[in-house]
Amino acid sequence: MSTASEQPRELIWRAQGSYDLHATVGIVQRSSTDPCAVFHQGAWWFAFHTPLGPATLSLRQIGTEVRAQALGPGAEAALEGVPALLGAEDDWSEFDSASFQASLPAHVREARRRHPGLRLPSTGRILDSLIPLILEQKVTGKEAFSGYRRLINQYGSTPPGAQLSGFPPRLRLAPSAAVWSKIPSWHWHQAGVGPQRSDTVMRALQRASALERLGRLNATQAGAGLQSISGIGPWTAAEVTQRSHGDPDAVAVGDYHLPGFVGIALTGEAVDDDGMLELLEPWRGHRQRVVRMLYLSGISKERHGPRMSVRDYRRI
């Protein structure tokens, strides 16, 4: 006999106007190998902790409706967060106004015309984004994603509902803050995570309760709170609030590729961080929206410079 927590709870969310689930929630996934966020058989699946316990959430779009199903002790809390996760609180009206659109380059306007269903998601969960982003600091994506996946597979657990038909086999529930904090230093080392990043994770975990409360503040306050922790700077804070708060203005200063890409996309020439911020300044308040549209415009930055090498900390 199935228990109540094994029975899916459902919610149907109806979008007003165009909507694109894949484009909206895809940013929550940390690479296609992310064990905690999986696109499987036409639906998005997420496993995460809530104040009521662990939850598995699946999202499937049918027309302008999204059917959400949640399982586990945290199912009710997971469903309560679905509208924000789907971008229901994200307001594009000013960005889409005639006066604002007139200020944008033609390829940005065209990207918005082709992607009217994009929303910025708000997970409300700080640690879910923060830990993998700390692992991405100043290393290659390949190195960061590999280390994160290895730690999740080793210290995470089976999510609620794994026994159900159609459940994605590689979906995992990340460790709780308490479990993360007990991972020994040599296991971080074996996962290819250097001491600078693992130490930053540990400092963040010491303030786990305070960090989760940041999810209830506005994005500016949350970003400032994040940067009060040694090892967390503007890049990490912006990348977190883009996901936890759907921050429409957060720009990831310090990104290895972003300034060059924005410069090429807007002027034809690469720029540094200061140059990027100067270029985006006319659209303050919506700078992240502009960046997302630049990515969707199809413009790409040619990479002629040296590639960052992958470092194997296990050999140190």
How many helices (H) does the chain have, and how many strands (E)? 16, 5
Confidence of residue 161 (pLDDT cuts 50, 70, 90): very high
Give residue 205's pLDDT. 97
For the residues of 54-123, what is the DSSP string, one character each?
A: EEEEEEEEETTEEEEEEESTTHHHHHHTHHHHTTTT---TTTTSHHHHHTS-HHHHHHHHH-TT------
The predicted model gives 267-280 an average pLDDT of 97
Transcribe 281-298 into DSSP letters: GGGTTSHHHHHHHHHHTT
* CA distances for 162 relative to 6, 28, 166, angstroms: 10, 21, 9
Q: How many CA atoms lie within 13 A of 273 on its CB side?
A: 8
Say what percent of the chain tops pLDDT 70.
93
What gap in Å lies between CA 68 and CA 57, rounded to an integer? 7
Question: How are beta strands 43-50 and 37-40 bridged, if at all?
Answer: antiparallel
Instruction: Assign 7 a pLDDT band (cuts: 50, 70, 90).
Output: confident
Read off the pLDDT of residues 112-144 as tens digits, 9 standing for 90 and up: 999 999 999 999 999 999 999 999 998 999 999
Q: Using CA atoms, how far apart are residues 198 and 190, in angstroms rounded to an integer? A: 12
Which pTM does this prediction carry? 0.91
Structure tokens at 208: 């786990």
pLDDT band at 287 (very low <50, low <70, confident <90, very high): very high
pLDDT tens-place string over residues 30-75? 999 999 999 999 999 999 999 999 999 999 999 999 999 999 999 9
pLDDT of residue 301: 62
pLDDT of residue 313: 45
Strands (E), 177-216: none
Average pLDDT over residues 195-206: 97
Contacts of 268 (CB under 8 A, 6+ apart): none
